[in-house]
Amino acid sequence: MERTTVLITGCSSGIGLGLAARLAADPARRFKVYATMRDLAKGERLLERLGGCCPDTLELLQLDVTDPCSLAAAAQRVQGQRLDVLVCNAGVGLMGPLETCSDQAMKTLFDVNLFGAVRTIQAFLPAMKSRRAGRIIVSSSIGGLQGLPFNAVYCASKFAVEGLCESLAIVLRPFNIHLTLVECGPVHTSFLANLQRPDPEGSEMRGLDAETQGLYRRYLGHCQSIFRDTAQEVEEVLPVFLEAIGSPCPPLRCASTQLLAPLWRLRLSSPDGSEYVRAMHDFVFGSSETGGDQP
């Protein structure tokens, strides 16, 4: 049986690592996986998951989505192979009051989350179009569907990814190329530990007004409770990606969690946004009227 060829970005940890390991270890050996990462030295974690050796169903590739030369080299390596599935999973985070976000931090975030996805799709899309077949899966976020406090720049990058993919999906329809966004919520990965965020007691916060400082501290406490009580494990999220890979006609959007579904429905039912803003504020910071913390 001919194998399905899959290339995944961001495989050094988290969802990318888990997905690459799951596909490469498929008992029926249905997949050939190109697991890519910026630093190949971090590929040892993936190999450990697979028993310490690299099976013939897996190949590690260096790929930095911010570097066009790196992307070109990866595309050249895959050239001649029929790439059936492209998974754009590389991403970074940025949290904190907007006043503390530097120009460089914001540019880096967009360079990875948005322009990195654009470059990756550009590199592999022409071959899919010429074959008139393929699918593209993009790791998105519930932060690409609704604004989240103290994640303004991160949400902006994910909103942009959502617009990019929705627009592109329309054009790709006659080419038989399916594009799917997987909107994840809190997941137990190194993402939260690695994202840039100011220490609430650090120097970056000194020039900020006291009320915003207080809200930020409360938000960090809210995040801790959300991750403690509701965050998913990577293994719980992988079936959504596997369904997008295996389904004959996958949808444009798949959610890995229903955590904020009530707020999302409120956002749709109240188009002017005022009800959503109030409900999200009360969910995170508590209601001044009721003292509750639920939407």
Please tell me whether 26 is known to bind a ligand.
Answer: yes
β-sheet bridge partners, residue 62: 37
Of the residues 154, 216, 219, 276, only one is catalytic, namely 154
Beta bridge partners of 8: 35, 87
Tell me the β-bridge partners of 177. Answer: 134
**Which residues are 60's β-sheet partners?**
35
Is 225 one of the annotated binding-site residues? Answer: no
Q: Is 23 annotated as a binding residue?
A: yes
279 labelled binding-site residue = no
Helices 68-78, 115-131: inter-axial angle, 10-degree rounding: 30
34 labelled binding-site residue? yes
Helix (H) or strand (E) holding 249: none
To 5 degrees, how large is the angle CA 82–CA 87–CA 91?
145
Is 7 marked within a binding site?
Answer: no
Query: Is residue 15 annotated as involved in ligand binding?
Result: yes
Known catalytic membership, residue 154: yes
Give the separation between CA 33 and CA 60, rounded to whole angstroms.
8
Query: Has 52 been labeled as part of a binding site?
Result: no
CA 287 to chain centre: 31
CA distance 33 to 43: 13
Q: Is 24 labelled a binding residue?
A: yes
Shortest CA distance to 49 belongs to which of 14, 98, 5?
Answer: 14
Known binding residue 25? Answer is yes
Closest CA to 43 of 86, 13, 87, 75: 13
141 is in an annotated binding site: yes
Q: Is 267 annotated among the ligand-binding residues?
A: no
Q: Is 35 flagged in the annotation as binding?
A: yes
The verdict on whether residue 244 carries a ligand-binding annotation is: no
The structure tokens listed for 26 are 């498929």
What is the token pair recorded at 82?
């029929």
Residue 294, classified by CB atoms within 10 Å of its CB into exposed (0-12), middle (13-18) or buried (19+), is exposed
Is 32 annotated as a binding-site member? yes
Active site residues: 154
Binding-site residues from annotation for NADP(+): 10-38, 64, 158
Binding residues: 10-38, 64, 141, 158
Q: Where is the binding site for substrate, in residues?
A: 141
